[in-house]
Amino acid sequence: MTGLIVEQISHDWGQKRALDEVSFAIEPGRFCALLGPNGAGKSTLFGLITRLFTPRSGWISVAGHRMDQAPLVALGQMGVVFQQQTLDLDLTVWRNMLYFAGLHGITGKAARLAAHDALDRLGMAERRGEKVRALNGGHRRRLEIARALMHGPKVLLLDEPTVGLDAQSRQSIVDHVHTLAREDGLSVLWATHLTDEVLPGDQLVILHQGKIREVSTSSQTGPDLTAHFLSITGQDRAE
């Protein structure tokens, strides 16, 4: 299968088992919400998928390329938006895009086309001349997503991309990324602990204490999904 496959991944931090035989797959065109409370193992999983470190066991495949066998090809098929922002605040939107294109070996006209196209997809083309410092948090996030798309990845990973944003910016980003999955055939992995970012029909992977508790297609939203999530993660019984 193309898309993203995570197969039997385990990882320990010292004595602590952070991920325990985690498996799931995301087909092209699907938005997958990775839901987990704090400490569930979401960031550890992101670190493994992006090869910041390697798993103790199991394997990961991106667009048909195994991370352990062909890491550069696999990473080349992936766009990543990390929790921490990594934009140059003193450069314009456009310069940030071109700089990043260069890191991917995309230069000249190809870079300008890729940058324009990606900004357009995120509704950011009109802001290309603005310094990043002047953008609000939601627009900075959209710029980071646009930047992650320039090299034409098949898989897009976002680690809690809406943290710290107001409700309207959050909704706009959730909508944009759903559209990207649907229209561009991207496999999206979106880590969050906020159930209102999950839409009906999304794939749902619930992670708790390093284990997968559920892989399903979301049919519930709002308070029903929140109650379901809390019951699965035992937080409804928290003191």
Residue 191 makes CB contacts below 8 A (sequence gap 6+) with 34, 36, 42, 43, 45, 46, 157, 158, 159, 160
Tell me the site size for ligand ATP, rule CB under 6 A. 11
Please state, in angstroms and rounded to a whole number, the distance separating the CA atoms of residues 111 and 150: 8
Rounded Cα–Cα distance for residues 205 and 180 (Å): 20
Q: Which two tokens stand for residue 40?
A: 């569930």
Cβ at position 42, least distance to ligand ATP in Å = 3
Return the residue of 2, 43, 96, 172 that touches ligand ATP, per CB under 6 A. 43
User: Contacting ligand ATP (CB under 6 A), which of 41, 55, 153, 161?
Assistant: 41
| 39 is a contact residue toward ligand ATP (CB under 6 A) | yes
User: Which residues in 4-33 contact ligand ATP (CB under 6 A)?
Assistant: 13, 16, 18
Residue 18 vs 150, nearer CB to ligand ATP: 18
The region of 37-45, 87-95, 119-127, 180-188 touching ligand ATP under the rule CB under 6 A is: 37-45
Q: What is the DSSP letter of 66?
A: E
Query: How far apart are the C-alpha atoms of 239 and 233, rounded to whole Å?
Result: 13
Q: Which residues bind ligand ATP (CB under 6 A)?
A: 13, 16, 18, 36, 38-44
